[in-house]
Chains A and B, each alone.
Chain A
Amino acid sequence: DAGVTQTPRHEVAEKGQTIILKCEPVSGHNDLFWYRQTKIQGLELLSYFRSKSLMEDGGAFKDRFKAEMLNSSFSTLKIQPTEPKDSAVYLCASSKQGTEVFFGKGTRLTVV
């Protein structure tokens, strides 16, 4: 059984570009989460979906960050426009309600 798959693993963007990160959750999981990880801020929740419905869209990230879940097996996180401070590792996670949360390996974004 495949875990959470994130692509790409690494992304380099120029300031002002639009980037789209992709996530495939574990098959059968109905909860999906996007987190951002930085050395300074640690792990921060960006978005939370339950059965494809957006349950929470992190307040501090609403401005340029948009997560979508068009079907139960695929989610995207769009950052538009990117800024250097967006450089971080973006983690996608999924779970079946109430059970263990599985994390992907993350996408390392560098904005120059």
Chain B
Amino acid sequence: TQTVSQSDAHVTVFEGDSVELRCNYSYGGSIYLSWYIQHHGRGLQFLLKYYSGNPVVQGVNGFEAEFSKSDSSFHLRKASVHWSDSAVYFCAASTTNTGKLTFGDGTVLTVKP
């Protein structure tokens, strides 16, 4: 059984700052890792996914994530955040290439003007 942990429950930054949201996973085999964003009162929206190849994955709206097998991590980054990036971010893992996902607890990102 895989587990996903997001160590930061809340992250607050200012508009224009860079941000990194942390995600660590626990699983011994092949794993698909993804990030989703959830704005208040909305469903989840896909940001990006990694399975193999280049460990740095580009996603929508300037987000990227880097996979590290040695650290069992898949951290999400953005170079310059906008107020509209304020939302809850979920890291997710799957052992199959499906939507059967194990989610982390989420990180609330607040971007201040």
> A residues touching B (Cβ–Cβ < 8 Å)?
4, 31, 33, 42-43, 45, 48, 50, 55-56, 91, 93-95, 97-98, 100-106
Assuming A42-B106, A43-B90, is B101 touching A105 (CB within 8 A)? no
On chain A, the residues within 8 Å of B102 by CB distance are 45
B99 contacts A93, C-beta separation under 8 Å = yes
List the B side residues contacting A45 at CB < 8 Å: 100-102
The majority secondary structure among interface residues of chain A is: strand
Partner of A103, one of B41, B44, B98, B100: B44
Looking at the assembled complex, report how far the CB atom of A86 sits from the nearest CB atom of chain B, in whole angstroms. Answer: 19
Known contacts A42-B105, A43-B90; decide if A95 and B99 are in contact (CB<8 Å).
Answer: yes
| Given A42-B105, A43-B90, A104 and B43 contact (CB-CB distance below 8 Å) | yes
